[in-house]
């Protein structure tokens, strides 16, 4: 009887295992079969990604010959279907094409830029945004997006900070994974799902001087502690593809970096997705000075595990020769093709290669509603001298500033497919929603953010004089951030500072709303304003979202995903810095130094004479229209062993008069270790909603493997000793409690 039962059990387990394994193994069998039928030209063809040129004869011929595997930037569904027909029906093996596009924060319905979404600290915002982007983009045949960008960056000069989730590996990991989930949906083979692409692998955000494509120097432990975790999180979330970065790390361009792409991505992380180069990045190995010619670049890239060449032609021109001469083994090529075919199978392209032409796929009411909610949750209230929300006592409102009515600019970077006619600007929303209650006087003052013509300022000042309150919409045009749009001076461009200074002289209360792709150095403009709302580039529905926030239909709940410097010279400035041997205390600022004084030590601590040692606003900072109090943090134990977990809890009370959301943050510090550790590291967060007067206890579990680090021997370790824990409203406040790891 017992024997029979065990046998029966074994049979069930075997069947279950077979069922789990069979879909994958059957795909792998199909892939192997296809590869065995492919010529070397067809294999290399799969590794070739070209930009769309419409129904161009040359392109048609290439597809027919099987010498192109993927096309990017073709968004006409009829052309997509026709090119796909040629691939499926006219090429020898009928392998479908995969169409890609940079669908970064929306396709038609534009959500806030990723940096803005990160300010929501709400993974649902990111997931829903990506899902809607996938639904809209897939309706025209795009089944692969080059997002999320999970590059950690600590440099607001870098234009691509707009496309990032900011400075922190943990926040970036959570938001990036949520985007992967949103793009790929529950099932990647569903026609409305698109493959995600974790980019740029790796270290791109560490570009020297915040200048795009620039060199990076990243020691291995920093790479693994800070830059790699969001990529690992993307692997764990099932990201179907990865993209190489443009930069070199310590002299090795990423498209030639075997350590990153093979040792770490494939061997350590067991990643079986597709690795695509960035645009021309294989060819650029030569420009970096790391290959003598395109042929050597191709050899380096294939050896470093780059599967697909995006617009570099290196594989196209040289791979066959490299294989024939024995310099590159055909197995390497087969592996790359395997990764490419796998994503095509996963997307269901072999079964359903064509896109059903749909009507009304864009701007669905639920998409617009989600975009508005995302823009609400992305705005961060930096200052409020009781001016917001706007009081009913005010009768006349002046709406000023170059971004009050600039539909294109509120989309931010990466909005190729956005349509300004569908965007609602703050001015349009305010007029439409509040035009009956208040008299609205609109006077931009400046036509665009870089405007250096002062004539409009006089008119804006005159409008302000007639008003009870002034709303100033300032910031950066979309074109001032994003790829290759870096700035060395990150103050408000054009004459916006002058505009704000002139408005201040009127004595009227000023609300400054900043719409920008990065943190800006606006200390003086903040001091001249009574309230400041930092809205990033909020997308299609930025206007209604900001109107709701300004007039109190919604309460700000965003917190900064990146430190805001006071001055450019402080950069890099980030919360998770080391303590140094002489942390900044007792410092003397430049104006306090007596004239003619002899050489003195000025406190002998770490600070800038002109900026002190603190940023303008710390990571995690953000106000609300209500206030929250935090109780003392309670730990479940004072000691923990490496296998156990400890719980930290804190009770948060809404001490104000409105229901609102609060982002509760968990930070940990390893007080003494074999390598100096950051003064705090984010290890958890929760966004909670509290009614006026309501309290909630938030609990976080801390496990030993969350609080370790990579050591000089390239091992992830957790060392015994004291750890400090904060549960706080930002990265600078709160009282720590301690436990010991034994
Ligand atoms: C270059 C960018 O670095 C990358 O992020 C983008 O996906 C590709 N171009 C394709 O447009």
What is the model's pLDDT at position 714? Answer: 94
- Residue nearest (by alpha carbon) to ligand 1 atom 1: 279
Please state, in angstroms and rounded to a whole number, the distance separating the CA atoms of residues 551 and 556: 11
Q: Residue 489 C-alpha to ligand 1 middle, in angstroms? A: 25
Element (DSSP H or E) covering residue 688? strand 681-690
Ligand 1 atom at shortest distance from the alpha carbon of 200:
5
Q: Residue 126 C-alpha to ligand 1 middle, in angstroms? A: 20
Nearest C-alpha neighbor of 669 from the set 589, 536, 575: 575
Q: What is the gyration radius of the CA atoms in the chain, in angstroms? A: 27
268: in domain: yes
661: in domain: yes
Ligand 1 atom at shortest distance from the alpha carbon of 147:
7
19 Cβ contact list (under 8 Å, min separation 6): none
Q: With beta carbons less than 8 A apart as the criterion, state whether 229 and 169 touch.
A: yes
**Domain range for residue 254?**
99-346
Ligand 1 atom at shortest distance from the alpha carbon of 163:
5
- Residue nearest (by alpha carbon) to ligand 1 atom 7: 146
Please state, in angstroms and rounded to a whole number, the distance separating the CA atoms of residues 187 and 19: 17
Q: With beta carbons less than 8 A apart as the criterion, state whether 80 and 144 touch.
A: no
267 Cβ contact list (under 8 Å, min separation 6): none
Nearest C-alpha neighbor of 141 from the set 202, 192, 209, 68: 192
Q: Residue 279 C-alpha to ligand 1 middle, in angstroms? A: 6
Please state, in angstroms and rounded to a whole number, the distance separating the CA atoms of residues 255 and 275: 10
- Indicate whether this model's pTM tops 0.75: yes
* Pairing mode, strands 396-400 and 439-443: parallel
24 Cβ contact list (under 8 Å, min separation 6): none
pLDDT band at 634 (very low <50, low <70, confident <90, very high): very high
Element (DSSP H or E) covering residue 43? helix 40-46
Last residue of a domain, one of 550, 579, 614: 550
Q: How deeply is 696 buried, as exposed, middle or buried, from its count of CB atoms within 10 A (0-12, 13-18, 19+)? A: middle
What is the model's pLDDT at position 570? Answer: 98
Torsion, Cα 136 139 140 142, to 10 degrees, reads 70
Q: With beta carbons less than 8 A apart as the criterion, state whether 677 and 669 touch.
A: yes
- Residue nearest (by alpha carbon) to ligand 1 atom 3: 278
How many CB atoms are located within 10 Å of the residue 604 CB? 10
What is the number of residues in the chain? 742
- Residue nearest (by alpha carbon) to ligand 1 atom 4: 278
Q: With beta carbons less than 8 A apart as the criterion, state whether 670 and 709 touch.
A: yes
Ligand 1 atom at shortest distance from the alpha carbon of 149:
5
Backbone conformation region of residue 580, classed left if phi is above 0, alpha if psi is from -120 to 50, else beta: left
Which one of 199, 214, 281 would you pick to mutate in the ligand 1 pocket, going by the greatest count of ligand atoms within 8 A of its CB? 199
147: in domain: yes
Q: Residue 213 C-alpha to ligand 1 middle, in angstroms? A: 12
641 catalytic per annotation: no
pLDDT tens digits, 198-238? 999 999 999 999 999 999 999 999 999 999 999 999 999 99
Which one of 72, 75, 98, 102 would you pick to mutate in the ligand 1 pocket, going by the greatest count of ligand atoms within 8 A of its CB? 102
Q: Residue 83 C-alpha to ligand 1 middle, in angstroms? A: 22
Domain count, the chain: 3
User: 727 pairs with which residues across the strands?
Assistant: 666
Q: Residue 155 C-alpha to ligand 1 middle, in angstroms? A: 19
Residue 144: alpha-carbon gap to chain centroid: 17
Contacts 24+ apart (CB under 8 A), 312-316: 312/277, 312/279, 312/280, 312/281, 312/282, 312/283, 312/284, 313/48, 313/283, 314/282, 314/283, 315/44, 315/47, 315/48, 315/282, 316/44, 316/48, 316/67
Q: DSSP states of 257-304 as a string?
A: -HIIIIIIIIIIT---SEEE--TTTTTHHHHHTS-SSHHHHHHHHHHT
What is the model's pLDDT at position 20? Answer: 39
Q: Residue 724 C-alpha to ligand 1 middle, in angstroms? A: 41
Please state, in angstroms and rounded to a whole number, the distance separating the CA atoms of residues 388 and 380: 13
Q: 182 with 301, same domain?
A: yes
Q: Residue 277 C-alpha to ligand 1 middle, in angstroms? A: 9
242: in domain: yes
Q: Residue 671 C-alpha to ligand 1 middle, in angstroms? A: 40
Residue 600 pLDDT greater than 90, yes or no: no
Which one of 49, 483, 484 would you pick to mutate in the ligand 1 pocket, going by the greatest count of ligand atoms within 8 A of its CB? 483
Residue 21 pLDDT greater than 50, yes or no: no
Diameter of the chain measured on Cα atoms: 100
33: in domain: no
Helix (H, G, I), strand (E, B) or coil at 421: helix
Any idea what the CATH number is for the domain that residue 466 is in?
3.40.50.1700
Average pLDDT over residues 80-84: 98
Which one of 72, 73, 144, 146 would you pick to mutate in the ligand 1 pocket, going by the greatest count of ligand atoms within 8 A of its CB? 146
Q: DSSP states of 442-507 as a string?
A: EE-SSSSTT---THHHHHHHHHHHH-SEEEEEEE--GGGSSTT---S--S--TTHHHHHHHHHHTT
What is the model's pLDDT at position 6? Answer: 52
Q: 121 with 207, same domain?
A: yes
Q: 125 with 237, same domain?
A: yes
8: in domain: no
Percentage with pLDDT > 90 across the chain: 94
Ligand 1 atom at shortest distance from the alpha carbon of 197:
7
What is the model's pLDDT at position 598? Answer: 86
Any idea what the CATH number is for the domain that residue 105 is in?
3.20.20.300
What is the model's pLDDT at position 108? Answer: 98
What is the model's pLDDT at position 15? Answer: 44
Candidate list 168, 278, 307, 530, residue with the active-site label: 278
Residue 78 pLDDT greater than 50, yes or no: yes
Joined tokens for residue 418: 């956005």
Residue 8 pLDDT greater than 70, yes or no: no
pLDDT tens digits, 420-463? 999 999 999 999 999 999 999 999 999 999 999 999 999 999 99
Joined tokens for residue 588: 């003397």
pLDDT band at 586 (very low <50, low <70, confident <90, very high): confident
60: in domain: no
- Residue nearest (by alpha carbon) to ligand 1 atom 11: 102
Q: With beta carbons less than 8 A apart as the criterion, state whether 66 and 316 touch.
A: no
Residues framing ligand 1 (Cβ under 6 A): 102, 146, 199, 278-279, 483
* Cα angle for residues 284, 485, 543 (degrees, 5° grid): 140
Average pLDDT over residues 20-31: 76
Q: 514 with 639, same domain?
A: no
Q: How deeply is 151 buried, as exposed, middle or buried, from its count of CB atoms within 10 A (0-12, 13-18, 19+)? A: buried
pLDDT tens digits, 707-736? 999 999 999 999 999 999 999 999 999 999
Please state, in angstroms and rounded to a whole number, the distance separating the CA atoms of residues 445 and 472: 10
Any idea what the CATH number is for the domain that residue 699 is in?
2.60.40.10
Last residue of a domain, one of 528, 550, 572: 550
pLDDT tens digits, 127-155? 999 999 999 999 999 999 999 999 999 99
Q: Residue 68 C-alpha to ligand 1 middle, in angstroms? A: 19
Q: 338 with 371, same domain?
A: no
Average pLDDT over residues 317-344: 98
Joined tokens for residue 719: 């060392």
Q: 248 with 133, same domain?
A: yes
Q: 336 with 373, same domain?
A: no
> Percentage helix, strand, coil, to 5, in the chain?
35, 20, 45
Burial 389-420 (b: 16+ CB within 10 A, else e): bbeeeeeebbbbbbbbbbbebbbbbbbebbbe
* Cα angle for residues 402, 405, 406 (degrees, 5° grid): 75
- Residue nearest (by alpha carbon) to ligand 1 atom 9: 279
Q: Residue 146 C-alpha to ligand 1 middle, in angstroms? A: 7
Q: Residue 471 C-alpha to ligand 1 middle, in angstroms? A: 36
Please state, in angstroms and rounded to a whole number, the distance separating the CA atoms of residues 523 and 517: 17
Ligand 1 atom at shortest distance from the alpha carbon of 100:
10
pLDDT band at 587 (very low <50, low <70, confident <90, very high): confident
Q: With beta carbons less than 8 A apart as the criterion, state whether 716 and 709 touch.
A: yes
Residue 622 pLDDT greater than 50, yes or no: yes
Torsion, Cα 230 699 656 533, to 10 degrees, reads 0
pLDDT tens digits, 667-708? 999 999 999 999 999 999 999 999 999 999 999 999 999 999
Cis peptide bond prior to 202, omega within 30° of 0: yes
Which one of 202, 279, 309 would you pick to mutate in the ligand 1 pocket, going by the greatest count of ligand atoms within 8 A of its CB? 279
Which one of 99, 195, 255, 310 would you pick to mutate in the ligand 1 pocket, going by the greatest count of ligand atoms within 8 A of its CB? 310
Q: Residue 522 C-alpha to ligand 1 middle, in angstroms? A: 30
637: in domain: yes
Q: 408 with 507, same domain?
A: yes
Nearest C-alpha neighbor of 43 from the set 348, 263, 329: 329
Q: 698 with 654, same domain?
A: yes
User: 737 pairs with which residues across the strands?
Assistant: 725
Please state, in angstroms and rounded to a whole number, the distance separating the CA atoms of residues 625 and 557: 9
Q: 287 with 335, same domain?
A: yes
Last residue of a domain, one of 519, 550, 581: 550
Mean pLDDT for the chain overall: 96
pLDDT band at 399 (very low <50, low <70, confident <90, very high): very high
pLDDT tens digits, 283-297? 999 999 999 999 999
What is the model's pLDDT at position 588? Answer: 80
Q: 113 with 165, same domain?
A: yes
Joined tokens for residue 158: 């870098």
Q: 405 with 460, same domain?
A: yes
């Amino acid at each position: 009887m017992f024997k029979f039962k065990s046998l029966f059990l074994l049979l069930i387990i075997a069947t279950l295992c077979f069922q789990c394994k069979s879909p994958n193994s059957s795909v792998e069998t199909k892939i192997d079969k296809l590869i065995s039928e492919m010529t070397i030209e067809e294999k290399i063809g799969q590794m070739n990604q070209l930009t769309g040129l419409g129904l161009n004869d040359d392109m048609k011929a290439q597809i027919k010959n099987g010498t192109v595997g993927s096309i990017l930037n073709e968004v006409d569904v009829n052309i997509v279907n026709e090119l796909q027909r040629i691939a499926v029906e006219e090429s020898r093996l009928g392998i479908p094409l995969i169409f890609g596009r940079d669908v970064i924060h929306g396709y038609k319905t534009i959500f806030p830029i990723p940096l803005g979404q990160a300010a929501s600290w709400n993974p649902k915002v990111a997931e829903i945004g990506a899902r809607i982007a996938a639904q809209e983009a897939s309706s025209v045949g795009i089944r692969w997006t080059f997002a999320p960008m999970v590059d950690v960056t600590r440099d607001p000069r870098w234009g691509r900070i707009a496309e990032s989730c900011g400075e922190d590996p943990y926040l970036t990991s959570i938001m990036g994974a949520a985007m992967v989930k949103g793009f790929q949906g529950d099932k990647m083979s569903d026609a409305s799902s698109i493959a995600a692409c974790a980019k740029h692998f790796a270290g791109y955000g560490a570009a020297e001087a915040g200048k795009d494509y620039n060199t990076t120097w990243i020691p291995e432990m920093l790479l693994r502690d800070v830059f790699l975790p969001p990529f690992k999180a993307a692997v764990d979330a099932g990201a179907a593809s990865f993209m190489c970065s443009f930069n070199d790390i310590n002299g090795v361009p990423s498209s030639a970096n075997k350590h990153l792409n093979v040792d770490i991505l494939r061997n350590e992380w067991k990643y079986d997705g597709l690795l695509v180069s960035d645009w021309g990045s294989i060819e650029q190995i030569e420009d970096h000075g790391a290959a003598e010619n395109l042929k050597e670049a191709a050899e380096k890239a294939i050896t470093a595990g780059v599967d697909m060449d995006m617009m570099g032609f290196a594989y196209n021109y040289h791979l066959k020769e490299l294989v024939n001469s024995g310099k590159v083994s055909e197995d390497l090529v087969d592996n790359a093709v395997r990764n490419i075919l796998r994503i095509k199978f996963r997307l269901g392209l072999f079964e359903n290669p064509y896109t059903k032409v749909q009507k009304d796929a864009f701007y669905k009411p639920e998409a617009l509603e989600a975009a508005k909610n995302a823009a609400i949750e992305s705005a961060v209230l930096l200052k409020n001298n009781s001016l917001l929300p706007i009081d009913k006592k005010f009768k006349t409102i002046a709406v000023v500033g170059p971004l009050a009515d600039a539909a294109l600019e509120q989309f931010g970077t990466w909005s190729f497919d956005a349509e300004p006619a569908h965007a609602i600007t703050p001015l349009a929303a305010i007029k439409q929603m509040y035009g009956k209650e208040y008299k609205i006087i609109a006077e931009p003052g400046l036509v665009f953010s870089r405007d250096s013509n002062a004539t409009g300022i006089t008119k804006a000042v005159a409008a302000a004089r007639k008003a009870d309150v002034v709303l100033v919409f300032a910031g950066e045009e979309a074109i001032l951030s994003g790829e290759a749009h870096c700035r060395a001076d990150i103050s408000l461009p054009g004459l916006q500072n002058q505009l704000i200074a002139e408005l201040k002289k009127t004595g009227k209360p000023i609300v400054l709303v900043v719409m920008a792709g990065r943190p800006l150095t606006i200390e003086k403009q903040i001091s001249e304003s009574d309230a400041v709302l930092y809205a990033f580039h909020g997308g299609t529905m930025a206007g209604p979202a900001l109107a709701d926030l300004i007039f109190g239909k919604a309460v700000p709940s965003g917190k900064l995903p990146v430190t805001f410097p006071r001055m450019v010279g402080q950069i890099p400035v980030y919360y998770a810095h080391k303590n140094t041997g002489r942390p900044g205390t007792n410092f003397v600022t430049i104006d306090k130094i007596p004239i003619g004084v002899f050489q003195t030590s000025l406190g002998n601590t770490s600070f800038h004479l002109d900026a002190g040692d603190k940023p303008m606003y710390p990571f995690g900072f953000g106000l609300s229209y209500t206030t929250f109090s935090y109780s003392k943090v309670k730990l479940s134990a004072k000691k923990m062993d490496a296998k156990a977990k400890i719980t930290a809890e804190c009770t948060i009370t809404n001490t104000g008069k409105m229901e609102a959301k609060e982002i509760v943050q968990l930070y940990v510090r390893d007080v003494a270790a074999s390598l100096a550790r950051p003064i705090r590291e984010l290890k958890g967060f929760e966004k909670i909603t509290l009614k006026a007067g309501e309290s909630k206890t938030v609990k976080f579990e801390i496990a030993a493997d969350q609080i370790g680090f990579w050591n000089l021997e390239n091992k992830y370790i957790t060392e015994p000793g004291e750890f400090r824990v904060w549960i706080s409203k930002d990265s600078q406040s709160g009282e720590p409690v301690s436990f010991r790891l034994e």
